[in-house]
Amino acid sequence: MTEFAIHGVALDKTTEMPLVVLRASTPDMFIGIQVGPSEASSIIVELEGVQPPRPLTHDLLSQMFTRHGFTLEHVEVYGQLEDRFLSRLHYTRGFKKFTMETRPSDALALAIRLEAPIFVDESCIPSLAFLRNDSNGSRTDFLYLENQQINSPIL
């Protein structure tokens, strides 16, 4: 397993779908996980520190974790089934350990809120390789990148 952190959110021009860009703890290794527009918005809201007037779904779940004594130990992207990636939450309450299958988008939205590490199995990395072409034929537009707002349309 390799540890990653959320680097930003990008829009893939080919599929017109958002990607959560993850950066490995070793420099120059980036991967992208495709997410839905609402999950991308939820992640951007948290990265930007925006407080919506009412909590979003991921905010409610993170509040439940905290209020009821659960700790999100880490998020794991561990495999692929057809064109979808598999992930799970690893969490504890006291000395009890739990795992729960979840969509990668939801796992990432919770990890950012609960400050949990994100691990990706090495077998998944080649399929998730993220290449950003900075020439005129750019494959992505960044919507949010490492605490810097980018002048692109919001999802």
The ranges assigned to domains in the chain are: 2-149
CB 52 within 8 A of CB 38: no
Assign 91 a pLDDT band (cuts: 50, 70, 90): very high
**Mean pLDDT of the region 34-57:** 90
Q: Which position has the higher pLDDT, 133 or 99?
A: 99
CA distance 16 to 40: 13
Query: Number of helices (H) and strands (E), helices first, in the chain?
Result: 4, 9
**Mean pLDDT of the region 97-122:** 95
CB 144 within 8 A of CB 29: no
CA distance 5 to 52: 24
The CATH classification of domain 2-149, taken from the options 3.40.50.1100, 3.40.50.2300, 3.10.690.10, 3.30.1490.70: 3.10.690.10
- Pull the structure tokens for residue 65: 């974790």
pTM over 0.85: no
Q: Which position has the higher pLDDT, 63 or 82?
A: 63
- Pull the structure tokens for residue 57: 């779904």
Residue 63, pLDDT above cutoff 80: yes
**Mean pLDDT of the region 63-73:** 96
